[in-house]
Amino acid sequence: MSGPIKHRITVISSNKVDNTDLDSLHLSRAKWVLPKGDYQRQDKFSFPFDKFASLFIEDTTKFDNIAEFAIQWGVFNNSLVAKQLEQRNQDLKNLNNALSKYVEPGYSVFAKPIQGATGDTLLTDLMDVIGNINDYGIEASQFIRNPMSWNYFNNDYHSTSQLPPKLASFLEELICSAEISSEHKETCKADYSSLLKHLSSLSLEFNNKLSSSNKGADDLRDLTITLYWNTGALQNVPSTTIHKVDNNERLTREIGMFEIDHRASTLNDLNLFGISAQLPSKLEPKFNHDGTPLFNSEDDDTLVAQKTMFYVSPRHITLDPSGGHLVYSSKFQTPIGLHPQHQVTIAGNKQDSIKRNTTSGKLALEPPMNPKMFDCELFSYYRLPNTLFLDRNEFTSDNGDVELVGVWGATDLEAPSYKTPEWGSDALLRVKVQPRDPDQFDINGELQPLVNDDDDDDDDDATLYSLKLHSRYQSVDTTPYYNGSIAKPDVFWACELSEHRLDSLVDEGLIKANEAENIKNQYDNDLIYKNPLDTKLGVSMEGIFTDNTVFYHFVANVSDISDNASFQDNFTIPRGKKEDFFIIQVATLVVVVSSLLYLLRKAVNGFTATKNQKKSKDDKKNQ
Q: What is the pLDDT of residues 356-390, one digit of tens each?
A: 666 666 777 888 888 888 889 999 999 999 999 99
Distance CA 557, CA 325 (A): 12
Distance CA 485, CA 474 (A): 14
Beta strands in 419-503 (DSSP E): 424-431, 434-435, 456-458, 463-468, 470-471, 481-487, 490-497
Between these two residues, 32 and 113, which has the higher pLDDT value?
113
Residue among 244, 210, 220 at smallest CA distance from 50: 220
Return the DSSP state at 621.
H
- What type of residue is 116? G
pTM of the full structure: 0.84
The secondary element (H helix, E strand) that includes residue 46 is strand 39-48
- 486-519 pLDDT, tens digit each: 989 999 999 988 888 888 888 888 888 888 888 8
Report the 10 Å Cβ neighbour count for 489: 25
Whether the CB-CB separation of 208 and 114 falls below 8 Å is answered with: yes
Whether the CB-CB separation of 488 and 330 falls below 8 Å is answered with: yes
Residue among 211, 186, 152, 179 at smallest CA distance from 7: 179
Provide φ and ψ at 393, rounded to 5°: -70, -15
Q: Taking CA 98 as the corner, what is the angle to CA 97 and CA 102, rounded to the nearest 5 degrees? A: 60
- 457-478 pLDDT, tens digit each: 554 558 889 999 999 988 877 7
Q: How many helices (H) and strands (E) does the chain have?
A: 9, 32
> To the nearest whole number, what is the mean pLDDT of the chain?
79
- Rounded to 10°, the helix 165-175/182-196 angle is 150
Whether the CB-CB separation of 68 and 210 falls below 8 Å is answered with: no
Q: How far is CA 213 from CA 3, 49, 61, in A?
A: 21, 18, 18
pLDDT of 539 over the 70 cut: yes
408-445 residues labelled b (16+ CB within 10 A) or e (exposed): bbbbeeebebeebebbbbbbbbebbbbbbebebbeeeb
At residue 174 the predicted structure's pLDDT band, cuts being 50, 70 and 90, is very high
Distance CA 411, CA 420 (A): 9
Res 437: pLDDT:
61
